[in-house]
Amino acid sequence: MNKEELVHLVSGQSGVEKDICERVLNAFEEVLSDELAHSKGFGDALDKVQQLVSFFNKRKG
């Protein structure tokens, strides 16, 4: 899935306009990139990714 497809799907499911979804997803990408860039090593970065995946899995359940 590319970014355009993701924006389309999120917009369709949420009812939020595509341009707003794109801005939110861009901001999320920036925040995530900054967090990973400022990790204290590879293990810390993996921990952050694992926490994020866990967060999304809990929301699905």
pLDDT in tens, 30-54: 998 998 899 999 999 999 999 989 9
Domain that holds residue 54: 3-60
Task: Return the SS3 of 1.
Answer: coil
Q: What is the pTM of this model?
A: 0.75
**Based on the structure, what is the number of domains in the chain?**
1
pLDDT in tens, 8-30: 999 999 999 999 999 999 999 99
Percent of the chain whose predicted confidence (pLDDT) is above 70 = 98
- In 3D, which of 35, 26, 37 has the Cα closest to residue 55? 35
